[in-house]
């Protein structure tokens, strides 16, 4: 059960990062998808909190998971739109309920 929860956490972190990157850099789609992306971001944040609440030991792994998925997700999303080399979304910002990219 623990590994499936860790896999779920990783998946939600990946989806969260993807949507934050879309919101940050996919200008041609932003006007059409903004509300949907923000709604998805809120949902992913809630699911991540729920997993951590039910599996507190995973809180110790979240930074490692983020560090592992971050460069992969950047690479994958660059297939869809331009992402500058200076792009940075911190884990703290990603998980903050009130933070959305400009």
pLDDT value of residue 1: 54
Contact 72, 19 (CB under 8 A): no
Residue 12, burial from CB neighbour count under 10 angstroms (0-12, 13-18, 19+): buried
> So where are the chain's domains?
2-95
Report how far residue 8's alpha carbon sits from residue 28's, in angstroms, rounded to the nearest whole number: 30
pTM: 0.95
CB 16 within 8 Å of CB 48? yes
Place of tokens 């932003």: 30
* % of residues, the chain, pLDDT over 90: 96
pLDDT digits (tens, 9 = 90+) for 38-88: 999 999 999 999 999 999 999 999 999 999 999 999 999 999 999 999 999
């Amino acid at each position: 059960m623990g590994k499936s929860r860790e896999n779920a956490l990783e998946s939600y972190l990946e989806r969260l990062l993807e949507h934050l990157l879309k919101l940050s850099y996919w200008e041609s789609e932003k006007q059409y998808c903004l509300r949907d992306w923000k709604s998805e971001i809120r949902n992913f944040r809630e699911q991540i909190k729920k997993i951590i609440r039910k599996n507190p030991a995973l809180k110790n792994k979240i930074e490692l998971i983020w560090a592992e998925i971050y460069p992969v997700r950047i690479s994958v999303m660059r297939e869809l739109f331009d992402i500058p080399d200076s792009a940075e979304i911190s884990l703290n910002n990603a998980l903050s309920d009130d933070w959305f990219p400009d």
